[in-house]
Chain A
Amino acid sequence: MRTRLLIGAIGVAMGLFGALRFLQLDPEDIIDALIWLAGGVVVHDAVIAPLTIAVTVLVARVVPAGARRRLTVALVVLVTVTVTAVPVLGRWGARADNPTLLDRNYLAGWLVFAALVGLCTLLVSLLAGPLARLRRRDRETPVSQSAG
Chain B
Amino acid sequence: MKHPPIPTEASFTSPLRHEHLTARIGTWVGISFGLCFLTGLVSHWYYLNDAPFFPPVRPVWGYRVTQGVHVLSGTAAIPLLLVKLWSVYPKLFGEVPFGQLRPLLVNLAEKASIVVLVSASIFQLVTGLANAAGWYPWAFSFRATHYAVAWVAIGALVVHIAVKLPIIKAAYARPLPEPASSYSEPGAGPGRRTLLRTALLASSVAVLAAAGSTVPLLRKVSVFGVRTGEGPQGVPVNRTAEGAGVLETSVDPAFRLTLVNGDREVTLSRADLEAMTQRSHELPIACVEGWSASGRWTGVRFAEVLDLVGAPRDAALRVRSLQQKGAFGVTQIPGSFARDPLTLLALGLNGERLSLDHGFPCRLIAPNRPGVFQTKWVTRIEVVT
Q: Do A and B bind? A: yes
**A: which residues have CB within 8 A of B?**
3-5, 7-8, 10-19, 21-22, 24-26, 28-30, 32-33, 36-38, 40-41, 44-45, 48-49, 52-53, 56, 60, 65-66, 68-69, 72-73, 76-77, 80-81, 83-90, 92-95, 97-98, 100-104, 106, 108-110, 112-113, 128, 132
Q: Which stretch of B56-64, B138-146, B256-264 is in the interface?
A: B138-146
Alpha-carbon separation in the docked complex, A81 to B228 (Å) = 19
Do B133 and A102 touch across chains, with their CB atoms under 8 A apart?
A: yes
From A5, A65, A77, A90, B202 is in contact (CB under 8 Å) with A77
Q: Which stretch of B97-105, B186-194, B346-354 is in the interface?
A: B186-194
List chain B residues, Cβ under 8 A from A60.
189
Given A29-B139, A77-B205, A106-B224: A37 and B149 within 8 A (CB)? yes
A36 to chain B, nearest CB (A): 6
Given A18-B150, A81-B79, A113-B209: A97 and B242 within 8 A (CB)? yes
Alpha-carbon separation in the docked complex, A88 to B225 (Å) = 8
Do A73 and B198 touch across chains, with their CB atoms under 8 A apart?
A: yes
Least CB separation from A26: chain B residue: B141
Do B223 and A49 touch across chains, with their CB atoms under 8 A apart?
A: no
Residue B199 at the chain A interface, CB threshold 8 Å = yes
List chain A residues, Cβ under 8 A from B240.
95, 97-98
List chain B residues, Cβ under 8 A from A36.
123, 126-127, 138, 140
Produce 1/0 per residue, B218-242, CB < 8 A to A. Answer: 0000011111101110001111101
Task: Tell me which of A22, A33, A49, A84 has the highest count of chain B C-beta atoms within 10 A of its own C-beta.
Answer: A84
Alpha-carbon separation in the docked complex, A106 to B225 (Å) = 9
Produce 1/0 per residue, B194-209, CB < 8 A to A. Answer: 1100110111011001
List chain A residues, Cβ under 8 A from B127.
36
B27 to chain A, nearest CB (A): 15
List chain A residues, Cβ under 8 A from B206.
80-81, 84
Q: Chain B contact residues (Cβ within 8 angstroms of A): what range?
A: 35 or more
Residue B115 at the chain A interface, CB threshold 8 Å = yes
**B: which residues have CB within 8 A of A?**
12, 14, 75, 78-79, 82-83, 85-86, 89, 92, 115-116, 118-120, 122-123, 126-127, 129-130, 132-141, 144-145, 147-163, 165, 182, 186-191, 194-195, 198-199, 201-203, 205-206, 209-210, 223-228, 230-232, 236-240, 242-243
What is the predominant secondary structure among interface residues of chain B facing chain A? helix
List chain B residues, Cβ under 8 A from A52.
86
Do B118 and A7 touch across chains, with their CB atoms under 8 A apart?
A: no
List chain A residues, Cβ under 8 A from B119.
37-38, 40-41
Do A29 and B145 touch across chains, with their CB atoms under 8 A apart?
A: yes
Least CB separation from A117: chain B residue: B205
Do A40 and B122 touch across chains, with their CB atoms under 8 A apart?
A: yes
Do A15 and B227 touch across chains, with their CB atoms under 8 A apart?
A: no
Do B189 and A94 touch across chains, with their CB atoms under 8 A apart?
A: no
A-B contact pairs, 9 of them (CB 8 A): A14-B151, A30-B140, A45-B89, A53-B89, A66-B187, A85-B209, A87-B132, A103-B230, A128-B187
Alpha-carbon separation in the docked complex, A15 to B149 (Å) = 9
List chain B residues, Cβ under 8 A from A92.
130, 133, 135, 137
Alpha-carbon separation in the docked complex, A14 to B132 (Å) = 26
Least CB separation from A48: chain B residue: B82
Do A83 and B123 touch across chains, with their CB atoms under 8 A apart?
A: no
Do B152 and A18 touch across chains, with their CB atoms under 8 A apart?
A: yes
Alpha-carbon separation in the docked complex, A100 to B145 (Å) = 27
* 8 residue pairs, one from A and one from B, having the closest CB atoms: A15-B155, A18-B151, A109-B223, A11-B158, A93-B134, A40-B122, A14-B155, A80-B79
B372 to chain A, nearest CB (A): 15
Least CB separation from B165: chain A residue: A4
Do B161 and A7 touch across chains, with their CB atoms under 8 A apart?
A: yes
Given A18-B149, A77-B198: A11 and B137 within 8 A (CB)? no
Do B133 and A69 touch across chains, with their CB atoms under 8 A apart?
A: no
List chain A residues, Cβ under 8 A from B123.
33, 36-37, 40
A69 to chain B, nearest CB (A): 4
List chain A residues, Cβ under 8 A from B201.
73, 77
Alpha-carbon separation in the docked complex, A48 to B81 (Å) = 13
List chain A residues, Cβ under 8 A from B159.
7-8, 11-12, 15
Alpha-carbon separation in the docked complex, A41 to B121 (Å) = 9
Least CB separation from B75: chain A residue: A84
Do B187 and A88 touch across chains, with their CB atoms under 8 A apart?
A: no
Alpha-carbon separation in the docked complex, A102 to B150 (Å) = 26
Do A103 and B227 touch across chains, with their CB atoms under 8 A apart?
A: yes
A61 to chain B, nearest CB (A): 12
List chain B residues, Cβ under 8 A from A106.
223-224
